[in-house]
Structure 1
Amino acid sequence: MTSVGAGVRVIGSGAATAPQCLTNEDLSQMVDTSDEWIWTRTGIGQRQLCTEETSLAMLAAEAGRQALSAAQLDPQALDLIILATSTPDDLFGSAGQVQQLLGAERAVAFDLTAACSGFVFALTTAAQFIRTGAYRNILVIGADVLSRWVDWSDRSTCVLFGDGAGAVLLQASDETDNLLAFDLYTNGSLNSCLNLPYQGQPKTLIADKQVTQGNYQPISMNGREVYRFAVARVPEVIEKVLFQAQCQTSDIDWLILHQANQRIMDAVGERLKIPAERILSNLAHYGNTSAASIPLALDEAVRQGKIKPGDLLALSGFGAGLSWGAALLRWG
């Protein structure tokens, strides 16, 4: 057990990408679209997709394995694994599978579902277990296989999504607390703007008893409303966490937004007056990977030497729910 009041620090990161690359040119052979149409509206050039042999748990475990390696921590030292995903292999949860694949038998493991906000929600949830003294080493993974739930005949959505996983390893610290602030929100009245709904058919059990049985339907999205929501709420929540931490926009070394649409990221940067060179984007290569997008971009920047110990990161996720949130994190 850690001491109550322990701080949070990040000691490693990792990522895993799906094996297949689907380009805009490939999509133009499937639906009425073109590379130019996709680029100008989304900023996406390609996306990585899982094969039949690649599971969500496998992707998540590989990202976790890389984070453990970067931190030089044995899986047996893990106390908790939080898997942020909306696309589990098993509707009862996939975190247990990840625990087994990692050989982390001591760790409690559970799924957390908050769609594209999932990684930020999971990160801040993990921090509370550390701060209360419950756990010392926590692996936070964001992973999604959205290709399972895309209508590949709908050009408004099929051009957007990809598969992937990213992870960070949090550890308790008696010397510092590098999660400086966070703020989370949900507006359920806008739920219909972006969802993946269950649709059932009635099934009669006996004369006067009936249930429904069915399946989940492909992703549906009102792109215009989601854009308006994100451009309004994301800068606002980032300003709130900066205020909580008594920091200024100019203090941010790297802004890491959910990689949904390049136009959204550009608009948020403009409103916050953060120059483009301080906004991390790998959307062009991976598309929208939901809960995986922030840790994927983060890990890539760490391994490229962009993010260095002591850098101040502003993270913000937004999406289905509708949900959104931000966290201010000192790297290291």
Structure 2
Amino acid sequence: MSLNEVYITRTSHYFPNQPVGNEEMEEYLGYINGKPSKSRRIVLRNNGITNRYYALEKGGKVTHTNAQLTAEAIKELFKDDPEGFKSVDVLACGTSSPDQIMPSHAVMVHGWLPELGKLEVVSPSGVCCAGMHALKYAYMAVKTGDAQHAIATGSERFSASLVAHQFEDEVHKLEELEQNPYISFDKEFLRWMLSDGASAFLLSNKPNPEGLSLKVEWIEGLSYADDMEPCMYCGAEKLEDGTLKSYLEFTHEELGEKSIMSIKQDVKLLSPNIVPLGGRPLPELFERRGLNPDDITWYCPHMSSNFFRDKIYEEHLKLGHHIPYEKWFVNLSYVGNVGAASVYLMVDELLHSGKLKKGDKIFLLVPESSRFSYMYALLTVV
């Protein structure tokens, strides 16, 4: 069977509302126990984020669902070509923050887009790599000829799980027990890291007749879950032995008292592992794919925090892969950490920046701390 070449022919993004600066965050997310956070400034100083987006009004009222954000990004793909909706065969939507456990995220997105008509819909689950899994599914559908045109998306709406009232039951329980009425750093840490937004790619078996397209050379992934315990999790509690206790095993009261449905991250496990594990497969991958680091024109590494910037750079040096900072294209500081959408947002901004020329090679690296998974991809500008 002959395989098609696959091209990203359009990209788009959608952010809810206006950007939120560092000093405004608690006006949207609220004050836990009515008090300003003690950790906010420390986390912000390290993560280097100055603006992010929330699908909230001040005071915490929700303005958009995740599915709505994603649908708006998809509409942007076709704002100048409304008939283009009819040619799409596959919709693949990745997120780590779906609006509900079921129905799946992608079918909820489809529900906001009757213009698409009947088509195949896929919802990869996971965390930051979920967007790349959606991209790979769309890529393979076009590659094999099952689809001529496919949409892949990455999106997040973290803010709804970060608002203060999500933690009030836990704080009140701590007060009843006469303990320090502050939630753990593993829970509060992520309140100052995450952002809402969505981005979409249109994939085709032919490049644009005019203008630039991005040829997808390859996409690969790797999981370390066979020997790494969970690091980032939601809907569970981490036990002393490193295993997770499911939300299904807690009483209704315990779900609130322990903030079981909030996002948590084991920061002690994160820092020593997230960068080295991501670098470990690169020498073999580059050799097998015939990729020389010098051939990379633009490097788009997804980073949850600017704290990891120099660590990633130094890891490449250790591996003999020098990728100078002038080749990096990262927008973390002014869009925030948008999880599964982050790499999409980098590619989208880069494609519309005027910086690209035909022949440029764009290397993507997406880490996921949930149980340490990684996705890698190479795009060529054509």
TM-score by length of structure 2 reads 0.75
Q: Residue 307 and residue 98 in structure 1: after superposition, are their counterparts in 2 closer, same or farther (change >3 A)?
A: farther
Q: Distance in 2 between matches of 1:240 and 1:328?
A: 15
Q: Distance in 1 between matches of 2:348 and 2:355?
A: 10
* Secondary structure in 2 matching 1:88: coil
Q: 2:235 aligns with which of 191, 197, 215?
A: 197
> Which residue of structure 2 lines up, in the alignment, with residue 257 of structure 1?
301
RMSD, matched Cα: 2.9
Quick check: 1:49 aligned with 2:40? no
Q: Say whether the 8 Å CA contact 2:40–2:192 is kept in structure 1.
A: no
Q: Distance in 1 between matches of 2:265 and 2:16?
A: 24
> Which residue of structure 2 lines up, in the alignment, with residue 143 of structure 1?
155
In the alignment, residue 62 of structure 1 is paired with which amino acid?
A: E
> Which residue of structure 2 lines up, in the alignment, with residue 32 of structure 1?
38
Offset at residue 143 of structure 1 (A): 0.5
Q: 2:218 aligns with which of 181, 185, 191?
A: 181
Moved more, 229-238 or 311-320: 229-238
> Which residue of structure 1 lines up, in the alignment, with residue 325 of structure 2?
276
- Percent identity over paired residues: 21
Moved more, 71-80 or 155-164: 71-80
Quick check: 1:11 aligned with 2:48? no
Q: Say whether the 8 Å CA contact 1:269–1:279 is kept in structure 2.
A: no
Offset at residue 177 of structure 1 (A): 9.5
> Which residue of structure 1 lines up, in the alignment, with residue 168 of structure 2?
none
> Which residue of structure 1 lines up, in the alignment, with residue 201 of structure 2?
168
Quick check: 1:230 aligned with 2:274? yes
Q: 1:314 aligns with which of 351, 363, 369?
A: 363
The runs of 5 or more residues in structure 1 that have no matched partner are: 204-211
Quick check: 1:295 aligned with 2:344? yes
Q: Distance in 1 between matches of 2:275 and 2:127?
A: 18
Moved more, 277-286 or 176-185: 176-185
Structure (1 or 2) with the greater strand fraction: 1
Q: Residue 216 and residue 38 in structure 1: after superposition, are their counterparts in 2 closer, same or farther (change >3 A)?
A: closer
Q: Distance in 1 between matches of 2:263 and 2:199?
A: 22
Moved more, 274-283 or 22-31: 22-31
* Mapping 1:6-155, distance limit 5 Å: 6-27=4-25, 30-33=36-39, 35=41, 37-51=42-56, 52-69=62-79, 74-91=84-101, 92-102=103-113, 103-150=115-162, 152=164, 154-155=187-188
Q: Distance in 1 between matches of 2:109 and 2:268?
A: 36
> Which residue of structure 1 lines up, in the alignment, with residue 169 of structure 2?
none
* Secondary structure in 2 matching 1:26: helix
* Secondary structure in 2 matching 1:57: helix
Q: Residue 309 and residue 140 in structure 1: after superposition, are their counterparts in 2 closer, same or farther (change >3 A)?
A: farther
In the alignment, residue 136 of structure 1 is paired with which amino acid?
A: Q
The runs of 5 or more residues in structure 2 that have no matched partner are: 57-61, 165-182, 208-212, 237-246, 317-321
Offset at residue 271 of structure 1 (A): 3.0
TM-score by length of structure 1 reads 0.86
Q: Say whether the 8 Å CA contact 1:13–1:70 is kept in structure 2.
A: no
Quick check: 1:329 aligned with 2:379? yes
Q: Say whether the 8 Å CA contact 2:214–2:381 is kept in structure 1.
A: no
Q: How many aligned residue pairs are there?
A: 321
* Secondary structure in 2 matching 1:178: strand
* Secondary structure in 2 matching 1:284: helix
Q: Say whether the 8 Å CA contact 1:145–1:164 is kept in structure 2.
A: yes
Runs of 4+ in 1 over 6 A off after TM superposition: 70-73, 212-215
> Which residue of structure 2 lines up, in the alignment, with residue 158 of structure 1?
191
Q: Say whether the 8 Å CA contact 1:13–1:68 is kept in structure 2.
A: no
Q: Distance in 1 between matches of 2:334 and 2:197?
A: 11
Q: Distance in 2 between matches of 1:125 and 1:217?
A: 29
* Secondary structure in 1 matching 2:280: helix
Q: Residue 193 and residue 167 in structure 1: after superposition, are their counterparts in 2 closer, same or farther (change >3 A)?
A: same
Offset at residue 39 of structure 1 (A): 4.2
Q: Residue 32 and residue 163 in structure 1: after superposition, are their counterparts in 2 closer, same or farther (change >3 A)?
A: same
* Secondary structure in 2 matching 1:66: helix
In the alignment, residue 234 of structure 2 is paired with which amino acid?
A: L
Q: Distance in 1 between matches of 2:358 and 2:81?
A: 13
Offset at residue 72 of structure 1 (A): 8.0
